[in-house]
Amino acid sequence: MPTQLTKEHYEKYGPCPKREIGPYTLLQTCGACPEQYEVFRDEKNVGYLRLRHGSFYALAYLENGEGERVYDTCACRGDGIFEDYERDGYLLLAVAAIDNRLYPNEPSLPQSDYGKVAWDAYWQSVASQWSMTMKHEAETVKWEHTSDKTKQAWRAAAQAVINATKGN
């Protein structure tokens, strides 16, 4: 498990690119191989995100100091670094899982349609592998053109992942 360090440590010892997701600050501690982030809320280190060899996971740091894996996927197109189009979606899903594990009774992220986020990240990964002649087919898998039944299934799957992190 990675060592928990303070936000001040990262800001002092290296310029770490920052991202904000709701009340969370993500400090990128490595740009590639692996692409990884420390996650802070109210100056407290609450999680860790890592993408390596196509596997992306999130750890939530519990009160006892241990890290618990709360999100895991191998659907990323990136190997040791996210493709630009998939980064925001996967980071949001991972932070939502951390948020729901550590703060189950006080959700603090803006309400998102996590099913749509997961759908978009997945299909953008798939479409990136298609030849140019197949790119026009991608229009048919856009969220807006998806059946209500499929949308419900993707929303339920994304919510199940997030709910599985509550109260563990």
Q: Residue 150: inside a domain, yes or no?
A: yes
Q: Residue 168: inside a domain, yes or no?
A: no
Q: Residue 103: inside a domain, yes or no?
A: yes
pLDDT in tens, 42-73: 889 999 999 998 899 999 999 998 999 998 88
| Contact residues for 107 (Cβ-Cβ < 8 A; gap 6+) | 99, 100
Can you give the residue range of the structural domain that contains 35? 7-163
What is the pLDDT, as a whole number, of residue 74? 82
Decide which of 161 and 118 is more confident: 118
Number of domains in the chain: 1
Distance CA 142, CA 125 (A): 13
Task: Give Cα 111 to chain centroid, integer Å.
Answer: 15
Q: Residue 2: inside a domain, yes or no?
A: no
pTM of the model: 0.67
Q: Residue 1: inside a domain, yes or no?
A: no
Q: Residue 56: inside a domain, yes or no?
A: yes
Q: For all residues of the chain together, what is the average pLDDT? A: 75
